Amino acid sequence: MHWPSWRRAVERLGRRGNAARRADPVLRPRRSLGMTAALAAVLCGLGAFTLWGTLQATRATEVQSQALVLDAIFSEASAAVAVQEMQARHYQLEPSVASRARYLESAAQADATLRRAVELSTGPALEDALRLQAEQSAYRQAADELIIMVTDRNPDAVQQDRLEVTPAYYTLQHDITEVARDHHTQAQKLVADLRKTQTRMFAATIVGFAVGLGLVAAIWRVMLGYQRRVLQHAEVSQYQALHDPLTGLANRLLFQRRLEDALDPARPDAEQLAVMLIDMNGFKAVNDTLGHQAGDDVLVETGHRLRKVVRDGDTVARLGGDEFAVLLPSVTSAEGAVEIAERATGALRRNYLLPAGSAAVSGSVGMVIGRPGTSAEDMLRHADAAMYRAKTSGKGVALYDPEIDTDQPGRMALFGDLRALLTDGDPDGQLVLYYQPQVRLADATVSATEALVRWRHPQLGLLSPGAFLGVAETGGLEIPLTYHLLRIAVKQAAHWCAQGRPMTVSVNVSPNCLLDDAFVGQVRSAVAEHGLPATLLRLEITESGMTTDPGRAQDALRRVRRDGVQVSIDDFGTGFSSLSQLKLLAADELKIDRTFIHDLATDPGDAILVRSAIDLAHNLGLFVTAEGVEDLTALAILDELGCDQVQGFALAYPVPADELMAEIRKAQDTARTTLKPPTRRGTATVQTQTAAALNP
């Protein structure tokens, strides 16, 4: 941009005037008139320059404002697409109505943001917006198909995810990021150009002030007012681009920037920091019952409450929907950070007094402690994993633990393998059942067995249940895993029955299955598919598993019992359910936990508890099985106490189905040797052992 050299023009005119004056005194008035004309020309030029500069600055401001708006919109679209993807992944891990609703809400937000970008864009920006809108439509279509497949348990869901959804998401996210970066760079460049224009205009104004004080003073007043408006508009635009419009909190973009700054290892005061992710529990119910305005009021009040519990210098942000985040840039210990998190959950548990009525919500907080140099993405992913554990456990606050949370690489890989295995239907038969015989003490025979899962992992070898059941539970796979193992057990029991060797098979059932609407149908389908008499199937339910929703769980068990399926109360004595619930529970068998059997021969307290449990079960009409029998003395005492059935390493180990008959013969021989019919109940030896256990 070239600026006129007004000073050189004035000097040139001045030199010409002086020469003329010296040459002819008659021309002095004319020279004076020429100087006046020159001054008028300068003033006119200054006025024209000022008008031109004002128009340039106005256009630059409009372009810069448009660029800032587009920068904010595309950044918001990037965040909305990321939330959409996250909710789609959550639905894969936890397919429920609530998670599907969150996915649809986030997808609608992403669509709306891109539509707004199309409406506000022109020129190349419009082309970018239309292209991104088309990519979002393609991703949404693929993701919706994946959601339907997951809902229908379609085995092609994994292929749909790998071939359609994931490529579409990464293409969309990459393009949005590139477009947002381009517009952000353009906005910054326009801001710099605008500032240069203002600086040069200011310098020109100073020159004009020397020529004509009155004119320059007027121009100065105009320019100062205009400059203030420009700066105020730029500040407002920047604030809006970095803050949530509803709560006034930092948005995802600003939170990400501050987190990255806190993790910068070059920061002079670098120390450990903490990130909290907070998800509201019960927020959807507020929207559904009190209206969306009440939901907005809850979000605003949540922001106020979180601000009160954090310290000066901490950042509270709303990431979207009902999800908040807190950045603690410096923490001295994990205990101090957890204390702040607990204060936050305590503040959120207080009732919200809204114009529409009172609302009761709470928050689940996932927290991670990190140090400068850690990846911001890893910090957020770890906090999200901890938040998921806090939500599923109901404890409110969870500090990230790589040994528990499934985002640990090893556990995540195991989770992915298990999910793919269940999605594909385990075509290679990696999930197998081992069977442990259960010996009936009345005649020392085996007519029942318990099915225990093992995983023949292609890389890790044979895995025991402890190696992967925790991953399945935290990742929401325990229900499909239970149904898969149920079908394997029923098929094997039907095979034994067809061979003329009917065997009751006990299958462990996840407590969450009792709350699943498909549970009864799954049991009936498995029994009908393989033609197994329902009385040969026994479902083992843990005592503590009945406490979440006792009424619903009992209703499901009554329905399967009406079909002839047996129900067993597993691990009795380790839970905290009341005797009134036990009285109402629809069950056929009670299994005494191994913790009371291990020291039965030496601990009088265990012997008294076991005898009481057996008497209680018999009075309620229940069949009693003791598990964890690892020595023959305990076997004899259980026989004397009137226990009906036992299982444990003293008699037989869990073995594959093709080895079970040999293990049954071994168990029966051991029982018959230990409990010889002529000397079983009432012999002096057994009576002495029992008396010693009960009366030390």
Distance CA 393, CA 544 (A): 14
Contacts of residue 511, defined as CB under 8 A and 6 or more positions apart, other chains included, come to 541, 542, 544, 545, 546, 548, 553
What 3 state SS string does 600-631 have? CCCCHHHHHHHHHHHHHHHHCCCEEEEECCCC
Per residue in 300-315, pLDDT (tens digit) is 999 999 999 999 999 9
pLDDT tier at 498 (50, 70, 90 boundaries)? very high
Contacts of residue 217, defined as CB under 8 A and 6 or more positions apart, other chains included, come to 209
* CB burial string 48-73: b at 16+ within 10 A, e below: ebbeebbeebeebbeebbbbbbbbbb
Show the beta-strand stretches assigned E in 537-684.
Answer: 537-542, 566-572, 589-592, 623-627, 645-647, 655-656
CATH level 3 topology of 432-694 = TIM Barrel (3.20.20)
SS3 368: strand
Per residue in 568-603, pLDDT (tens digit) is 988 776 554 456 566 667 789 999 988 889 888 888
The structure tokens listed for 346 are 């305590």
Q: Mean pLDDT throughout 313-322? A: 92
Given this model, what pLDDT does residue 626 score? 94
Domain at 6-242, CATH class: mainly alpha
Choice between 187 and 359, residue whose per-residue pLDDT is larger? 359
**CATH 3.30.70.270 residue ranges for the chain:** 252-407
**CATH 3.20.20.450 residue ranges for the chain:** 432-694
Contacts of residue 322, defined as CB under 8 A and 6 or more positions apart, other chains included, come to 279, 280, 283, 284, 299
Given this model, what pLDDT does residue 32 score? 44
| Residue 493, burial from CB neighbour count under 10 angstroms (0-12, 13-18, 19+) | buried
Strand partners, 568: 540, 589
Q: Mean pLDDT throughout 472-495? A: 90
Q: Mean pLDDT throughout 59-75? A: 74
What is the β-pairing status of strands 362-370 and 273-281?
antiparallel
* Matching CATH number, 252-407, of 1.20.1260.10, 3.30.450.40, 1.20.120.1630, 3.30.70.270: 3.30.70.270
Per residue in 130-162, pLDDT (tens digit) is 888 888 888 888 888 888 888 888 888 888 888
Residue 691 has a CB neighbour count (10 Å cut-off) of 12
pTM equals 0.48
In the block, tokens 């498909």 appear at 518
Given this model, what pLDDT does residue 160 score? 81
Per residue in 556-566, pLDDT (tens digit) is 999 999 999 99
Helices and strands in the chain, H and E counts: 22, 17
Contact criterion met (CB below 8 Å) for 437 and 660: yes
| Residue 25, burial from CB neighbour count under 10 angstroms (0-12, 13-18, 19+) | exposed
CA nearest to 85, candidates 97, 70, 103: 103
The structure tokens listed for 553 are 């769980």
Given this model, what pLDDT does residue 456 score? 94
User: Phi-psi category of 346—alpha, beta or left, where left has phi over 0 and alpha has psi -120 to 50?
Assistant: alpha
Q: CA-CA distances (angstroms) from residue 132 to 117, 482, 521, 695?
A: 10, 42, 44, 80
Distance CA 488, CA 537 (A): 12
Given this model, what pLDDT does residue 138 score? 86
Distance CA 693, CA 691 (A): 5
Per residue in 5-47, pLDDT (tens digit) is 434 444 444 444 444 444 444 444 454 445 455 556 666 776 7
